[in-house]
């Protein structure tokens, strides 16, 4: 809503000037506005909304993958089990960090591209960590 107020003010300002124009003798005459185009960032906001939904779904899928890795953990060598468990904890922590970042992010037109780039990079790195994860101990 905060983003709409400046747009509405600017639109009102432009409309006000286009509605009233002075003729040569100083009398007011009404002039119809000609193709006034108000640019809004609804595309960026819609993009953010879709990005957030996609990110949350990926995080949920990561939770499922982590649960599957835990289920595959076979008790055997204590040292190997400990290493395997630590790797799972690292994956969980990274996934939880991504969950918190996307949940706590408040859309801001200025920092959105940087946030999106960093978030995508971290999500990609987590995906690589899943692919590189082996159940061999």
pLDDT tens digits for range 102-127: 999 999 889 999 999 999 999 999 99
Residues 90, 71 contacting (CB under 8 angstroms): no
Closest by CA position to 118, among listed 43, 55, 42, 35:
55
Structure pTM? 0.63
State how far the Cα of 59 lies from the Cα of 102, in Å rounded to an integer: 10
Q: How confident is the model at residue 10 (pLDDT cuts 50, 70, 90)?
A: low
- Neighbour tally for 84: CB within 10 Å: 22
pLDDT tens figures, 64-99: 999 988 888 777 777 778 888 899 999 999 999 999
Query: For the chain, where are the alpha helices, taking DSSP H only?
Result: 4-19, 42-72, 78-104, 112-132
Q: Cα separation of 59 and 89, whole Å?
A: 15
* Integer Cα distance of 25 and 93 in angstroms: 74
How far apart CA 12 and CA 33 sit, in angstroms, is 12
pLDDT of residue 43: 60
pLDDT higher than threshold 70 for residue 24: no
């Amino acid at each position: 809503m905060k983003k709409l107020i400046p747009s509405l003010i600017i639109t009102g300002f432009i409309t006000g000037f286009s509605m009233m124009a002075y003729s040569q003798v100083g009398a007011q005459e009404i002039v119809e506005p000609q193709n006034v185009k108000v640019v809004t960032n609804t595309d960026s906001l819609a993009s953010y909304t879709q990005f957030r939904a996609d990110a949350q779904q990926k995080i949920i899928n990561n939770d499922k993958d982590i649960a599957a890795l835990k289920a595959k953990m076979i008790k055997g060598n204590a040292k190997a089990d400990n290493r395997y468990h630590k790797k799972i904890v690292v994956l969980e922590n990274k996934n939880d960090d991504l969950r918190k970042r996307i949940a706590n992010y408040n859309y801001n037109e200025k920092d959105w591209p940087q946030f999106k780039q960093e978030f995508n990079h971290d999500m990609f790195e987590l995906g690589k960590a899943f692919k590189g994860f082996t159940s061999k101990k």
